[in-house]
Structure 1
Amino acid sequence: MIKSIAFQRGLLCSGMAIALAFAAPSLAADSYPSKPIRILVGASAGGGTDILARMFADKFSQALKQSVIVENRPGASQTIAADNTARAPKDGYTLLAATNTNQAIAPHILKLSYDPLKDINAVGLIAKVPHVLVVGKDSPYKSVKDVIEAMKANPGQLTYGSSGIGSTQHIAGVAFGLAVGAEATHVPYKGSSQAHIDIISGEVSMMFDTSSSSMAQIRSGGLRALAVLSPKRSAQLPDVPTLAESGVSGADMYTWYGMFVTGGTDPKTVELLNKTLNQTLELPDVRERLLGLGGEITPISAAEMAEMNREEFERFGKLIKKANLKAN
């Protein structure tokens, strides 16, 4: 009898252990987040990605009742931050404020140790932001026509800055050169804010920057906007013509900003992060800020973000192959 009771107790304990083992992932997801979260940014402080990451870190902290810290890991076309995210624990505590630079462009130019479509999971879309062709306030170039004429008269002598090799600024400059049949020299930086300094001083001729990172300098007068690289004019820059209006076609460029997490993270955690992101996009002050930076806001699911990323990956791959772009 005693042996029978002991045996039954053993079975009961074993059954409870098995049940708890299967329940552990669910319990972990339900308790998320239970410690501080970090958002990695592949650009230097002050750039467009950094500005948005810090705004969302503050809102996420309020919504999730946890500290959310932004860490800058600039360089290598934002892929250093992406690589760190890919190698982080699959627990949802390392997020990545990403763009199509590191997710869809750089993988076709740089040799990476991670797969952007597998090792990093999409959470959602923050905004799509058009690019704008800017020059310094004292630049002799007053229009797109002036820039094209100078490029053709002095092949390779005009320079354009970017936040790194393979960045959307870099690709926009390449597309512009192909569209106008002229060449300018690419000058990569670790972030847009560093490039702005040399453009304003006249050390670099121009930049095909995102409106989000250049808007403050445009409004303060440090940079002069010559054209927006979108099909229609920006509501924030109504007096600035589009490239098409300036006689250039085939060089439109957007940068999208999205939130990602380490690949293999629990789907329930990803779902919670997506819900938090989309709710944040509905906040009046966030919408006002994003629209003020020239952003287009369209909340989407994590699956839709993953599909958009895949499509962008394929599109930029074809463009880069056509231009025969390679890392220097």
Structure 2
Amino acid sequence: MKHRLNRRSATQILAGTMIALAGFATAPALAEYPEKPINLVIGFSAGGGTDLTGRALAVHLRNVLGKPVVVVNKPGAASMIAAKFVADSRPDGYTLWYGSVGTMILARELEKSELGVDTDFVQAGTTTRLVPAIAVPVESPYQTLQDLLDDAKARPGELRWAHGGAGSAFMASGVGFIEANGLEVQAVPFSGTAKARLAIIGGQVDFGIQNMNASMNFGEKMRILGVLRGSKQELIDKSVPAAGELGIDYIAIDSPVGILAPAGTPEDVLKILASAVAEAETSDAYREAMEKLQFPIAVVPQSETAAQAGAILENVRRILPKLK
């Protein structure tokens, strides 16, 4: 699918009307976007959930835009190294960040980054989201979320929970769950979600927050009690309970993931990107790829991304004192 940027100068128009009389060629037509490969920068190492879903989206964008979309991994600082690299890049649509708006908001509120969703980037829409889930060791006595809540309330201060480090989206989701239910539990931070997962599997903690799709590779070693979502409508695995449907409270710290371009990217280029991102929802190939990864397709169009970011910010500020 091609999109033409309809920009012609007065000189070009005049030349077009006078060509037969003057006998000279018109100025060359302006290039279409994209005319060269696009770099899609991801703030995590190859092989993780964000990387794999980003690569699936890169294939989709290539099919729609007709140019290669090259994944560039720049891990570190909870993806903020990648975000900073893109924010400082030329705003021409050829260097994009595939990342989480929620992570950026958390980093700014915790004063770990000066980048802002509304000041340093323009959003082209989101395609998926991280789904925080309460996970326990497979031999845990807890069979339901209610079992966990009942025991935590019966033994205040005794239960331990794992998260992937201060400022991480799953750490914030865990705090939202704990605060909403008035629990007294001990936080055990780790440097990354993978290390927190090992602590859950090894029984070093009583529970932790993982992405829903962790059960795909680790289902025999830990158990997902439920997801911190209002419903399981978006989930690939509909057998997992959603806290909202169980009447269990939580403060939603959403982590939508999508395409962000540097501030100043031309509107016509952004519209092309936004249209390509929106088409992901109707792409059979993209849907198949995401189903294999057990990530939901949760497309939010560009027109709704500002409201989405505002809702995340509001909930982050509700639990901010507990995050520091």
Q: Please indicate the TM-score interval, normalised by the length of the shorter structure.
A: 0.7 to 0.9
Which residue identity lines up with residue 126 of structure 2 in the other structure?
Answer: L
Query: Any idea what SS the aligned residue of 2:127 has?
Result: strand
Q: For this pair of structures, how many residues does the alignment match?
A: 297
Q: Report the counterpart of residue 220 of structure 2 in structure 1.
A: 221
Gaps of 5+ in 2: 1-9, 15-26
Q: Report the counterpart of residue 84 of structure 1 in structure 2.
A: 85
In structure 1, C-alpha distance between the alignment counterparts of 2:274 and 2:305, rounded to whole Å: 10
Q: Report the counterpart of residue 126 of structure 2 in structure 1.
A: 125
Query: Any idea what SS the aligned residue of 1:295 has?
Result: coil
Contact 1:200 1:222 in 2 (8 A): yes
Contact 1:122 1:261 in 2 (8 A): yes
Gaps of 5+ in 1: 1-14
Equivalences for residues 1-328 of structure 1 within 5 A: 27=30, 30-148=31-149, 151-152=152-153, 153=155, 155=157, 158-162=160-164, 164-181=165-182, 182-190=184-192, 192-211=193-212, 213-217=213-217, 220-233=219-232, 235-244=235-244, 248-290=248-290, 293=294, 295-300=296-301, 302-313=302-313, 315-321=314-320, 323-326=321-324
Contact 1:124 1:299 in 2 (8 A): yes
Contact 1:155 1:183 in 2 (8 A): yes
By how many angstroms is 1:77 displaced? 2.9
In structure 2, C-alpha distance between the alignment counterparts of 1:233 and 1:303, rounded to whole Å: 25
By how many angstroms is 1:193 displaced? 3.9
Contact 1:108 1:320 in 2 (8 A): no
Q: Which runs of 4+ in 1 moved over 6 A?
A: none
- Return the TM-score normalized by structure 2: 0.79
In structure 2, C-alpha distance between the alignment counterparts of 1:296 and 1:171, rounded to whole Å: 22
Which residue identity lines up with residue 187 of structure 1 in the other structure?
Answer: P
By how many angstroms is 1:150 displaced? 5.3
The sequence identity of aligned pairs, in percent, is: 25
Which residue identity lines up with residue 229 of structure 2 in the other structure?
Answer: S
Alpha-carbon deviations, 1:17-55, whole Å to 9, x = none? Answer: 9x9xxxx9x93xx43323322212223333332221010
By how many angstroms is 1:324 displaced? 4.2
By how many angstroms is 1:252 displaced? 4.3
By how many angstroms is 1:169 displaced? 0.6
The 1:122/1:247 distance shift into structure 2, 3 A limit, reads closer
The 1:101/1:184 distance shift into structure 2, 3 A limit, reads farther
By how many angstroms is 1:90 displaced? 1.2
Which residue identity lines up with residue 111 of structure 1 in the other structure?
Answer: K
Alpha-carbon deviations, 1:148-179, whole Å to 9, x = none? Answer: 355453626513123x4222211111112212
In structure 2, C-alpha distance between the alignment counterparts of 1:59 and 1:298, rounded to whole Å: 14
By how many angstroms is 1:116 displaced? 2.5
Contact 1:135 1:223 in 2 (8 A): yes
Contact 1:92 1:261 in 2 (8 A): yes
Contact 2:162 2:196 in 1 (8 A): no
Which residue identity lines up with residue 52 of structure 2 in the other structure?
Answer: I
Q: Report the counterpart of residue 4 of structure 1 in structure 2.
A: none
Please give the root-mean-square deviation of Cα atoms over the aligned residues, in Å: 3.0
Query: Any idea what SS the aligned residue of 2:82 has?
Result: helix
If each structure's helix is expressed as a fraction of its own residues, which one has the higher value? 1
Q: Report the counterpart of residue 6 of structure 1 in structure 2.
A: none
Contact 1:158 1:184 in 2 (8 A): yes
